[in-house]
Amino acid sequence: MKIKVENKKFTGLGLAPLAPDIGRADIKQVPTRNGYGEALVELGEKNPDVVVLTGDLSDSTRAAEFAKKFPERFFEVGVAEQNLMGIAAGLALSGKTPFVSSYATFSPGRNWDQLRVSVCYSRANVKIAGAHTGVSVGPDGATHQALEDIAITRVLPNLTVVVPCDSLQTKAAAIAACQIQGPVYFRFAREATPVFTTPETPFEIGKAQLLRDGGDVAVIGCGPVLYHALLAAQELGKEGLSVLVLNNHTIKPMDEEAVVACAEKCGAVVTLEEHQVSGGAGSAVCEALAKYFPVPVEMVGMQDTFGESGEPAELIEKYGMGKEAVISAIKKVLTRKKKGNS
Amino acid sequence: MQKLTASELQLKANDLRQDVIEMLLEAGSGHSAGPLGTADIFAALYFNVLNHDPKNPKWVGRDRLVLSCGHICPILYAALAESGYFPTEELKTLRKLGTRLQGHPHNLDLPGIENSSGPLGQGFSQAIGMALAAKLNHERHRIYCISSDGEHDEGQIWEAIMFAGKNKLNNLTVILDRNNIQIDGYTEDVMPLEPLRDKYEAFNWHVLEIDGNNIHEIMDACGEAKTIYEKPTIIIAHTVPGKGVGFMEFDYKWHGTPPNKEQAARALHELRTLRGAIKSEHE
């Protein structure tokens, strides 16, 4: 296959402002779920129609602060995720804007049919927050590490799917989700992860974000693991490789224009996500590239296996979603790119 | 809407049953037993109990009717059309390509449909959400939910029953179509549900048990539910599946089957002559 590689100037995407301390050991780290908790309180103050529901997980999903401030608009549904989603749909059909707070393994894991029919088919204005995604959930083990949620949500019509990359972006995503009329799923994580965007970094659902410009290879990914891509890009930069990093935070509707433009510019793509590689964000990228601009792709993510107990950093390392894994995927894809061109 | 008297409602239920037979014949697929069995309940609700305005289906102050067992929707469609939500001629489009009368109801398609349903158990929870919203807004309308007995196999139903009892949702009335049949047979063979009354009482509900084919009892029970201030109300409505058509009554095989042409003619003759009680067919 002949791959067209143009060294033209990247257009259509401005470089997003990032934190100055990327790569430093003391970069500020905050769990993405904290951003969700802050957004809920802010939204609660501004919008009297915002209500929050949880299935016995108010504290760990960070919905507890909202519950304290607005007890009459907070509903404890108990460990009953099907009912949780159904009640949210009923509230939405009566004009409320419900935020459903649970772990992604349970919601949308255990109530996917309710999400499909009561929410998406009915176009009920429900916002679904899936906490504890990825192997970085850690010691709780495979049962609680959501690695399939992007796949099962992005197939649903009418549903927007967003994967924010740090706590600031999670807050921005929750606020942006509230402004959309219609169902939105967004996921976040348990562990503290680097805050690499800034309060000034713009966020718009459906608009991918250029974190770093480059011309040799494009890493297109989502979520906190994008930090590993930035580290990989820094390191490879020293070897003279120019790595582009695109924060493809909205899996649906995906910013196909940006994805294709990056592929066109670099001629090789590495996808990155803390999720199964089949059916997830990387698959969405591959679908767009297959349609519009096929280039060699390597996919970094969970390779069709479950996680296990361990420390988050160990698990990211073992299952190949850290800096080293990104570097080796980049090298592999560059070899393929070279072969394709020769 | 003008409220009909009990005797007018009985005739209206008969009209709805005829609509159902004609719709199912035309569609060539669909459920017979449930829609016929609940015709009296739907007649009582849409032409007496519900506070609603077919000319203004999104009126905020309307009572909500949430159908949880979506498969009996032919009777819902018939009641909506006969109330004036859409032309009765449209009933014949049931299940056909491009229709607003989907095989299972879709809230975005037809005026008067509050929720999408089909997969069992989902409407019950949505009715609870609507009841919560009404309470938050200090609105006085009521939420009615029609649920089936077979649907009570679903775990979601029991999650919902627990929640409504805990939250004392007195603006919620659930009418349980207790017709004892489901697709694979009789409910007590497939998965025993009894003692339903005791179960609901244990979950902090006000329980009423009625003959679900008796218009007077349906109206009285809905009236009593409005007077209960500390609990949601469940009306266990004992109905005859296939009611009004002799050869369909009590037979679970009619749960998910439509009549053929000859069967439909017999059914319509029975309904129009009130089982031979009157000589000439009324239409």
Q: What would the pLDDT profile of B133-143 be if each residue is shown by its tens digit?
A: 999 999 999 99
Residue predicted with more confidence, B268 or A341: B268
Inspect the interface and report whether the beta carbons of A118 and B155 lie closer than 8 Å: no
Q: With 60 as the cut, is the pLDDT of residue A4 above it?
A: no
* CATH top-level class of A209-341: alpha beta
Which residues of chain B does A82 touch, with a Cβ-Cβ cutoff of 8 Å? Answer: 121, 125, 155-156, 159
Q: What is the mean pLDDT of residues B257-279?
A: 91
Contact A251, A163 (CB under 8 A): yes
Hey, of B66, B125, B145, which one would you mutate to test binding to chain A, going by the most A CBs within 10 A of its CB?
B125
Q: With 70 as the cut, is the pLDDT of residue B5 above it?
A: yes
> What is the band of A341 on the pLDDT scale with cuts at 50, 70, 90?
low
What topology is assigned to A29-194 in CATH? Rossmann fold (3.40.50)
* B63 falls within a domain: yes
* B1 falls within a domain: no
- Contact B130/A at CB under 8 A: yes
Q: Give residue A78's pLDDT.
A: 97
* B23 falls within a domain: yes
pTM of the model: 0.95
Q: With 60 as the cut, is the pLDDT of residue A3 above it?
A: no
Q: Distance (Å) from the C-alpha of residue B93 to the closest C-alpha of chain A? A: 21
Q: Give me the catalytic one of A38, A81, A264, A298.
A: A81
Q: Give residue B279's pLDDT.
A: 74
Q: What is the mean pLDDT of residues B40-47?
A: 98
Q: Give residue B31's pLDDT.
A: 93
φ, ψ (nearest 5 deg) of residue B24? -65, -35
Q: Give residue A340's pLDDT.
A: 82
User: Where are chain A's structural domains?
Assistant: 29-194, 209-341
Number of domains in chain B: 1
DSSP for residue A71:
G
Q: Give residue B282's pLDDT.
A: 58
Which residues of chain B does A182 touch, with a Cβ-Cβ cutoff of 8 Å? Answer: none
Minimum mean pLDDT range among B64-73, B95-104, B209-218, B266-275:
B266-275
Q: What is the mean pLDDT of residues A296-325?
A: 98
* B233 falls within a domain: yes
Q: Give residue A24's pLDDT.
A: 94
First to last CA, chain B: 23
What is the value of ipTM here, to two decimals?
Answer: 0.96
Q: Give residue A6's pLDDT.
A: 42
Measure Cα distances from B54 to A6, B83, B112 in Å: 62, 7, 7
* B154 falls within a domain: yes
> What is the band of A13 on the pLDDT scale with cuts at 50, 70, 90?
confident
Q: Which two tokens stand for residue B106?
A: 């879709």
DSSP A160-185: EEE--SSHHHHHHHHHHHHHSSS-EE
Residues paired with residue B55 on neighbouring β-strands, in sequence order: none
CA atoms within 13 A on the CB side of A142: 8
Q: Which two tokens stand for residue B257?
A: 């089957």
Q: Give residue B283's pLDDT.
A: 54
* B279 falls within a domain: no
Q: With 50 as the cut, is the pLDDT of residue A2 above it?
A: no
Common-topology check for domains A29-194 and A209-341 = yes
Q: With 60 as the cut, is the pLDDT of residue A7 above it?
A: no
> What is the band of B278 on the pLDDT scale with cuts at 50, 70, 90?
confident
> What is the band of A1 on the pLDDT scale with cuts at 50, 70, 90?
very low
Q: What is the CATH number of the domain that holds B24?
A: 3.40.50.970
Which residues of chain B does A114 touch, with a Cβ-Cβ cutoff of 8 Å? Answer: 122, 125, 156
> What is the band of B212 on the pLDDT scale with cuts at 50, 70, 90?
very high
Could you read off the pLDDT of A227-285 as tens digits, one per residue?
999 999 999 999 999 999 999 999 999 999 999 999 999 999 999 999 999 999 999 99
Structural domain that includes position B145: 6-272
